[in-house]
Amino acid sequence: MADALNGLKQGLTHYGDAGFSLFLRKAFIKAMGYSDKALERPVIGITDTFSGYNACNRSVPAIIEAVKRGVMLAGGLPIEFPVVSVHEAFSHPTSMYLRNLMAMDVEELVRAQPMDAVVLIGGCDKTVPALLMGAASVDLPAILTVAGPMITGSHKGERLGACTDCRRFWGEHRAGVFDEMEIEEIGNKLAPGPGTCMVMGTASTMALVSEAMGMMLPGGAAIPAVHADRLRHAEATGERAVMLASAKLRPSQIMTKNSLGNALRVLQAVGGSTNGVIHLAAIAGRLGFDLNLEELDQIGVETPVLVDLKPSGQHYMEDLFKAGGLTAVLREINHFIDKECITVTGKTLGENMAMQPASWPNDVARPIEDPVHRGGGIRVLRGNLAPKGAIIKQAAATPGLLKHTGRAVVFTSLKDMADRIDAPDLDVNADDILVLQNAGPKGGPGMPEAGCMPIPRKLAVAGVKDMVRISDGRMSGTAFGTVVLHVSPEAAVGGPLSLIRNGDLIRLDVEEGLLELLIDESELVRRRSEWTPPSHTHVARGYAKLYFNEVLQAEDGCDFNFLRAKPREVLSATNGRNCRDDRRSTNMDSSAAGGRSL
């Protein structure tokens, strides 16, 4: 196998003498204790997002060892290397602000260092999309595994999980239900071990859609972080990475237009995070096509929410694991998915499904005839307030608010909201619509998860649990409520959201897919003539300058413009060559001109 691969001989440092470059490389790496026999093996890079700041990845060192064991069992040489680690709660100003930096780090280090394939180990919201974005851009054989979800905690006999219950209990604390001592006690129990949030947050969502796209071995998305199966899956991942290197099966042959279509279908069926829309759009852009919001909306109309997990249901990820994981969901939407898409196993998605254990009746992965929510988890909205789209997680919203007209109560920034949301004299009532401006990709910056604005204290104390909230920001996948997100164009670039004033009437009609500002066009024109961009978007140096110059809007995944691939025809069953054909011809050119939408 070593003769067919390049191993340490590839990507030599430029010294003007290739022989000397290889000699010097081997001399230095022998300081690690490798023998010549070991250095003749195919090299499998292993990159991960472990960090002392990233509790989600606490178990990753054990996963790395299991991956390395698998690589060596298959005859490869595992070499691990670090990349940027991004944790949701430890990233200022936001993790989304740094996701593209991590993706660049992955891309450049995989490209710069000698490896025949790479194992990607992630966990926590932005790490998995960043790993896949970087891998898509390099297009070296790659395979993903994740840290896995946490187990649940308990408080006074009630099962708890981060972070839907974090938000629920904090809201009750703000309303005076829990005092300082009890909320601290609850905080000690919400995250009882390593792993990612155990609800259908962004981490769980991205794990499931990555498995659906074929970038992860079957069954890997839902295995709890502390379960022995997590290490067995990691070992199998390392072993498979060596086979991928030999077959030269690349991400562009796996993450095709059709496989991302499968990912969107799963996103709707599991009641996934709205952040998944942004991340899949970014991955699509790295592959040379756009994510089509209308197609996402149509998929939602066809695909009910089948997974009964918080925040759209009652259960947790360990329950989905026990119920059969993603396979149980895929079998229920069998007639909607493209089963011919190739996966990292070298087999099609359909072949992988057939090899999994038989499904059984359960109350977590529900049958399609008895869904948790009909009509999909996520709905796309358009109108004069969102010309390029907005979205709402309707499965986690209050049904009575999905068709609502109310008076705008406007906050012009995150600081303005923090300063005034709990003011006793705030002019607000339960029928009003809270509007947050300048929380988008540039406005935040980094599109913070502030879209799920807190209920004003005086209303929360009075028992108000939900209100319509509208912003150009994001919402955690663990959050819930009638929250309109990703309004585009954002306020910081002069989008219509920036023109809303206190007292304006806004109409939301989720069934019709409408989000409208009910004022005259002439008034909008007048307000637009007076608009000026926020000063913080003008930065002179560093990553911030690159970010503000290049970041795109939500519908393009908030990626950097210069990192998107040139439009190309992505191989799929709909353009004359199916996904199975990709397995048989692993060196085909996928860079033909002609962009396509997903």
pLDDT tens sequence across 481-503: 999 999 999 999 999 999 999 99
Q: Is the link from the previous residue into 558 a cis peptide, with omega within 30 of 0?
A: no
Which H or E run includes 315? none
Rg for the chain, CA atoms, rounded:
24
Question: Tens of pLDDT along 282-333?
Answer: 999 999 999 999 999 999 999 999 999 988 889 999 999 999 999 999 999 9
pLDDT bin (cut points 50, 70, 90) of residue 90 is confident
Question: Tens of pLDDT along 146-203?
Answer: 999 999 888 888 888 887 788 788 888 888 888 899 889 888 888 888 989 999 999 9
**CA dist., res. 125 & res. 143, Å (int):** 18
Which H or E run includes 287? helix 275-287
Are the C-beta atoms of residues 132 and 591 closer than 8 Å to each other? no
Average pLDDT, the chain: 91
What DSSP string runs through 400-420? Answer: GGSEEEEEEEEE-SHHHHHHH
Q: Where are the alpha helices (DSSP H) in 449-567?
A: 457-461, 521-530, 542-550
Answer whether residue 583 shows pLDDT above 90: no
Q: Which residue has the tokens 């990691």?
A: 234
pLDDT bin (cut points 50, 70, 90) of residue 592 is very low
Q: What confidence score (pLDDT) does residue 598 get?
A: 55
pLDDT bin (cut points 50, 70, 90) of residue 5 is low
**CA dist., res. 24 & res. 379, Å (int):** 57
pLDDT bin (cut points 50, 70, 90) of residue 44 is very high
Report helix, strand or coil for 197: coil
Are the C-beta atoms of residues 227 and 202 closer than 8 Å to each other? no
**CA dist., res. 39 & res. 35, Å (int):** 6
**CA dist., res. 96 & res. 395, Å (int):** 24
Answer whether residue 568 shows pLDDT above 50: yes
Which are the contacts of 25, defined by CB distance < 8 A and separation ≥ 6? 8, 12, 13, 114
Question: Tens of pLDDT along 373-425?
Answer: 988 899 999 999 999 999 999 998 999 999 999 999 999 999 999 999 999 99
- From residue 156, alpha-carbon distances to 152, 153, 283, 361, 478 in Å are 13, 10, 43, 30, 22
pLDDT bin (cut points 50, 70, 90) of residue 572 is very low
Angle 95-107-196 from CA coordinates, rounded to 5°: 40
Please report how many Cα atoms fall inside a 13 Å half-sphere around the Cα of residue 495, on the Cβ side. 29
**pTM for this prediction:** 0.91
